[in-house]
Amino acid sequence: MTEPAAPFVHRLRPRYAEIDLQGVVFNAHWLTYFDEASTRFFAAIRATPAAVVFRDFDVMVVRAVLDWQRPAGFDDEVVITVVPTRLGSASFDLTYAAAVEGRPACTGTITYVSVVPGSPESTPIPAAIRSSLEARLQSA
Amino acid sequence: MTEPAAPFVHRLRPRYAEIDLQGVVFNAHWLTYFDEASTRFFAAIRATPAAVVFRDFDVMVVRAVLDWQRPAGFDDEVVITVVPTRLGSASFDLTYAAAVEGRPACTGTITYVSVVPGSPESTPIPAAIRSSLEARLQSA
Amino acid sequence: MTEPAAPFVHRLRPRYAEIDLQGVVFNAHWLTYFDEASTRFFAAIRATPAAVVFRDFDVMVVRAVLDWQRPAGFDDEVVITVVPTRLGSASFDLTYAAAVEGRPACTGTITYVSVVPGSPESTPIPAAIRSSLEARLQSA
Amino acid sequence: MTEPAAPFVHRLRPRYAEIDLQGVVFNAHWLTYFDEASTRFFAAIRATPAAVVFRDFDVMVVRAVLDWQRPAGFDDEVVITVVPTRLGSASFDLTYAAAVEGRPACTGTITYVSVVPGSPESTPIPAAIRSSLEARLQSA
């Protein structure tokens, strides 16, 4: 029996430019943070931007559900875990949980459709990526 | 019996800088577009940025649910309707529906909590804004 | 003797998301504002995004010089004039002057190289665009 | 005789969201990258965001001169050196040089005015920061 892989973790610090008049990260930037985390997550499962993504594998976002628990501020260390929480034949969900100093800041579940690179046409998730996602799959 | 107000409409054109490698508006920008639409929507109900917002009325976003139907491209005319779809004592939902050439591109429902300007503390929605929201309320 | 064309003018309002902790437009957004103004400027000289740009004409930015005189705030009306101030065979300068309530906020001169669409290779400015730029040329 | 400090270096990877239709980092993001580098540079000379900046020390950007030598692409490793190149009583210049794979991509010199935190009023650079800048000063 194999242990499930530890959740993937990405860290970043909000830029000065991303902080709004309320002194907190503007809401839209969380989708960008989660996208940055997805780049590193895919690289970690060997779908590196340079080698794979866009040639053998590409995705489109079709749904995003975001909840904010607490704001993040300028230069806070934001720790984001990334976990696949649903795996279909041509689509999957990644669930992101961002925390600052151990306390939840923003969580999101994003639904991706696997597409033929360079087109909006859906296509089955490539087998190697599929099995990597499966090995990390957790119930939402 | 009064007719409900016609839905508020805001128009914008995606900037070159907002288009990604797939040739479409990057997902995070839709939250920014909806925020821009909310600025105009609040101005239309007399909560203008200069006169009211931040002094007598401010909000924090606590939840966003976004669905994409079809991409928008560089300089497309994006037409966004804004409708209140839930009205609580200290929070409310606005539902945004964006279309390009009459076809749905992205819809979103965003939950706002009314806060004491300059603080994260929730507070009842001011009466004048509340009644403006109520006059435009539609079921989701 | 023909009169020179009146300077091209583009108007926009800074978004909430573009205002930083100092309460003013973050510096990088001015390059985006000038890029948005250039889209409308090129459309006005009939190089519309849909019809021309990227197929018959494309540019790369190689130099930008920006000076700030005064900040712009949330939802201020920013008025940007766009004037060609240098015209070479394969490159040209546009000078942008942004004002808020008639007072200078930010000026910039951006140098563009005409490139073969889809490549970084420089190429002479197409004749029709060249003559439109020439008709509006002013000394810097 | 003391050696000058080695130039400060900051590394980052362009996000997917920052790449435009030409497949390269959109020009405005370079000002954001240089701002991110300045945050780390100031932290390195002990003007950390949390401890100092905005309370004892704040700046406004009044001029930026940017030159592009070569584009950067998605997820490239961008190496940015930061060097003070001018030091006045209430203003100074930082010069940024960004390279990808050892080849120059973008250089910029940004002029900062020291301001009273929370206001646009200029004020002498605090002594501790001034001497740190001086120790790293190089001719442009």
Q: From D33, which residue of chain A is nearest by alpha-carbon distance?
A: A15
- Is 70 exceeded by the pLDDT of residue D50? no
Closest partner residue to B16 among C15, C16, C35, by Cβ? C35
**Residue range A38-45: average pLDDT?**
92
Test D19 with B21 for CB contact under 8 angstroms: yes
Half-sphere exposure of A9 (CA within 13 A, CB side): 6
Interface of A with B (CB under 8 A): 21-22, 26-32, 35, 54, 58, 60-68, 71, 120
Interface of B with D (CB under 8 A): 16-17, 19-21, 23, 26, 28, 74
- Is 60 exceeded by the pLDDT of residue C65? yes
This prediction has a pTM of 0.95
Q: In the A/C pair of chains, how many CB contacts fall below 8 A?
A: 22
Per-residue pLDDT tens over the stretch A12-25: 999 999 999 889 99
- Other C-beta atoms within 10 Å of B32: how many? 22
Lowest mean pLDDT among A112-116, B59-63, B89-93, C5-9: C5-9
Q: From D36, which residue of chain C is nearest by alpha-carbon distance?
A: C28
Closest partner residue to D28 among B17, B21, B26, by Cβ? B17
Distance between CA D126 and CA D137 in Å, rounded?
Answer: 16
Q: From D23, which residue of chain B is nearest by alpha-carbon distance?
A: B21
pLDDT in the model for residue D1: 46
Residue D107 distance to chain C (closest CA, Å): 10
Distance between CA C12 and CA C35 in Å, rounded?
Answer: 12
Per-residue pLDDT tens over the stretch C92-103: 999 999 999 999
Total length of chain C: 140
Test A26 with C16 for CB contact under 8 angstroms: yes
Domain boundaries, chain D: 8-136
Interface of B with C (CB under 8 A): 15-17, 32, 35-36, 39, 49-50, 74-75
Interface of A with C (CB under 8 A): 16-17, 19-21, 23, 26, 28, 74
- Is 50 exceeded by the pLDDT of residue A3? yes
- Is 50 exceeded by the pLDDT of residue C88? yes
pLDDT in the model for residue C3: 59
- Is 60 exceeded by the pLDDT of residue D6? yes
Test C27 with D31 for CB contact under 8 angstroms: yes
Test B75 with C32 for CB contact under 8 angstroms: no
Report yes or no: D129 and D57 within 8 Å, Cβ to Cβ.
Answer: yes
- Is 50 exceeded by the pLDDT of residue C1? no
Rounded percentage of chain C residues whose pLDDT exceeds 70: 90
User: Which of A109-118, B80-89, D51-60 tops mean pLDDT?
Assistant: B80-89
Test C71 with D31 for CB contact under 8 angstroms: no
Taking CB atoms and an 8 Å cutoff, what residues of chain A touch B26?
A: 32, 35
Tokens coding B125: 């929605």
Per-residue pLDDT tens over the stretch D75-131: 999 999 999 999 999 999 999 999 999 999 999 999 999 999 888 899 999 998 999
Q: What is the mean pLDDT of each run of 10 residues along chain B (140 residues)?
A: 75 97 95 97 80 76 98 96 97 98 98 90 93 91
- Contact partners for chain A, using 3 or more CB pairs closer than 8 A, are B, C, D
Taking CB atoms and an 8 Å cutoff, what residues of chain D touch B26?
A: 16-17
Report yes or no: C105 and C99 within 8 Å, Cβ to Cβ.
Answer: yes
- Other C-beta atoms within 10 Å of D94: how many? 23
- Is 70 exceeded by the pLDDT of residue D52? no
Per-residue pLDDT tens over the stretch C99-127: 999 999 999 999 999 999 888 899 999 99
Q: May I ask the CATH architecture of the domain B8-136? A: Roll (3.10)
* Long-range contacts (CB closer than 8 Å, 24 or more residues apart) made by A48-57: A48/D75, A49/D16, A49/D74, A49/D75, A50/D75, A52/A129, A54/A117, A54/A118, A54/B21, A55/A117, A56/A117, A56/A126, A57/A114, A57/A117, A57/A125, A57/A126, A57/A129
The rounded mean pLDDT for chain C is: 91
pLDDT in the model for residue A2: 55
- Contact partners for chain C, using 3 or more CB pairs closer than 8 A, are A, B, D
Taking CB atoms and an 8 Å cutoff, what residues of chain A touch D15?
A: 32, 35-36, 39
